[in-house]
Structure 1
Amino acid sequence: MVTASDLVSAGTLPAPRFAPYEREALGNLSDADSLYKWHGQMASSCMELISHFEVLLRNSIDSTLAQYFRESDRNIPWFLMNTKLAKDLSPKVNEARVDAARYNFESRDHIVSRLMFGFWANMLSRKHDELWQKTLHNAFPNARRPRNEVMSHIEGVRLFRNRVAHHDSLLGVNIPFEVNRIFTICGWINSDAETWIRSVSRCHAAYSLRPVNPSNTVIVPAKTAWKTYQKTGAYVCQPGRFFRDVSRMAFYSDKAVQASIPEVLDRRDHVPWTENEAQRLDKTGNLDDRRVAKVIREVLKLKDSNGDALYTDGLYQVFILSDISDIVKTKTLNSPVQHTKTGKGSAYVRKQRYCTSGSILHASTTNDIS
């Protein structure tokens, strides 16, 4: 039986393409082959889900705008009317019309079907804020969220979609997290749509069949983050940043992996970092929401050495972690794990890196972490 690694050896499959799977399998070619095969099946399941989601999204936005511009009365598609919106969108619409005409189809529905995902996501951008206030919020009747938050979540799906569609590796992506984000947005559109898309999705089932267990701990650079965790029990970073599906987090600060390795209790992306959002979360009655609200308030109080706010109003991604004093959930080392390499390019963590928590617990230096 021919395997992916056989194709790499023959030069048929590019070695750089296969290399991440071999590294993930710690050099075991049989495991790497299984992982590469699984990845294709996983990506296929994700693309199937994204296709369902994209149709639901564009239909909701399209229907909302058709009603707002009284399309049925005027008998002209809203995107071809003599309006400022239609004129602004005309380059993309014209491209879709030309593409449809190539196949002798130029009906309204054929044009809509050829408008890219980015077209619909862009409808929620800041330049369309007035349109959001007037009508576009009706495309997400269950959201009760501001435009920028809805836009940010859809942008997250777009980035995930691009990774899948361009056949990029998903090894560094928390696939269940991204899939659940799609479910959430569908629920904002229509609760029955969420129920249906959950029922047809194969993503969680495919994910459970992963043949090589991923590293369970992410190590993050923590010049500021380590102090933030000590004071708030949370890790806060920019929205939309991809992470693997991990159960623990470690902090690299002062040239060492710090001694506390907390458990990841919750993860939220594109969270508005405001007192208004904290108040909204407090009112949901959900204990996890209240915990996030508490973190928002605590983090907003943090100051740097100049007395300026460490985190300003905006959108953030937040990991709620077990407390540093929680001897049950937080693993604790006798001392930090020192990084001994020096010189140019020797930094241990730049963005993030992954390992097993066990390798940190038994490491003398960072050279022992795997």
Structure 2
Amino acid sequence: MPTFEDALSADRFSTYRLWAAQDHALARRLYTFNVQLSAALYGPLHMLEVALRNVADRRLIATRGVDWMDDPAVLVTPYQQSCVTKSREQLKRDRKAGTHGQMVAELNFGFWSSLFGRQSTHLWGNDLRPIFQTGKLQRHSIASQLSDFRGLRNRVAHYEPILALPLAQRYADIVTLTGWLSPSAVAWINDTSTWPTIYPGIPILVVDPTTGVTSVAPSVLPHLPA
């Protein structure tokens, strides 16, 4: 009969076994905890992405016009332009009209993050800086955070390990950035998020300074699912 490890594949489970020093039961608890934390992050990441794309789109319509997606003075990189082309083609395959609203939803997080990248500095000042309701702020700080969020989102979406990431900082940054975009959006996160009840607020993994080996922090064991 196939085992739990067979169902996951030895490669997928190997990371957890290493962290658990080959203790199968502990590795399974870590895997379960990884899934629970990933599920708790799904809602906040969802709201951040949706708020970002809608707020950015409204601002670009106001400053560049409703056809900003087709303006080469706005989207200056081949990546951005290809994202628009691929999204239109996908909507066409899905037999959708390809309205502006459908395009906003179809374009991926990588596209929206790219609007704050180094090659799009022309969009920062008058176009996109005003969407963040906060004081002093630099474009590269937003770009760096969005890169971190994108990596986290992709790991969550593809069922990859996230336990080694600085999760407390990532969650705090998600809440902060969403709040800058929309007080209503961050209020939704605060009202609905299960993160505070699941994340123990202490390190999950620790690295031995001598050997460099990563293992489970003893203090987190009581917080892991049975």
Distance 1:93 1:355 in 2: 44
Match of 1:66 in 2: 61
Query: Could you tell me whether the CA contact under 8 Å between 1:24 and 1:32 is conserved in 2?
Result: yes
Q: What's 1:135 paired with?
A: 127
Structure 1 contact 24–214 (Cα < 8 Å) conserved = no
Q: CA deviation at 1:117?
A: 0.5
What residue is the counterpart of 1:214 in the other structure? 204
- 1:20 is aligned to 2:19: no
Q: Give the C-alpha shift of residue 67 in structure 1.
A: 0.8
The answer to whether the Cα contact below 8 Å between 1:176 and 1:204 also exists between their aligned partners in 2 is: no
Aligned pair count reads 216
Match of 1:287 in 2: none
Matched ranges for 1:5-44 at <5 A:
6-8=3-5, 11-44=6-39
- TM-aligned CA distance change 1:96 to 1:62, over 3 Å: same
Does the 8 Å CA contact 1:142/1:187 hold for their aligned counterparts?
Answer: no
Richer in strand (by share): 1
- The answer on whether the counterparts of 1:96 and 1:114 sit within 8 Å (CA) in structure 2 is yes
- Cα distance, 1:103–1:138 mapped onto 2, change above 3 Å: same
User: What is the rounded CA distance, in whole Å, between the counterparts of 1:91 and 1:32 in structure 2?
Assistant: 42
Counterpart amino acid of 1:134? N
Q: Which has the higher helix share?
A: 2
Deviation for aligned residue 1:86: 4.5
- Percent identical pairs in the alignment equals 24
Q: Which runs of 5+ in 1 are unaligned?
A: 72-76, 220-251, 258-347, 359-370
Residue 201 and residue 357 in structure 1: after superposition, are their counterparts in 2 closer, same or farther (change >3 A)? closer
Match of 2:37, SS?
helix
Q: Could you tell me which runs of 5 or more consecutive residues in structure 2 were left unpaired when the two chains were aligned.
A: 220-226
Match of 1:146 in 2: 138
What SS does the aligned partner of 1:112 have?
Answer: helix
Kept in 1: contact 2:19–2:215 (CA 8 A): no
Q: 1:177 to 1:86 in 2, by over 3 A?
A: closer
Aligned to 1:365: none
Q: 1:119 to 1:355 in 2, by over 3 A?
A: same
Q: Which has the larger radius of gyration?
A: 1
Give TM-score, length-normalised by structure 2. Answer: 0.82
User: For residues 113 and 128 of structure 2, what CA distance do their matches in structure 1 show?
Assistant: 12
Paired position in structure 1 for 2:162: 170
Moved more, 140-149 or 29-38: 29-38
Over the aligned positions, Cα root-mean-square deviation in angstroms equals: 2.9
Using the size of structure 1 for normalisation, the TM-score is 0.52
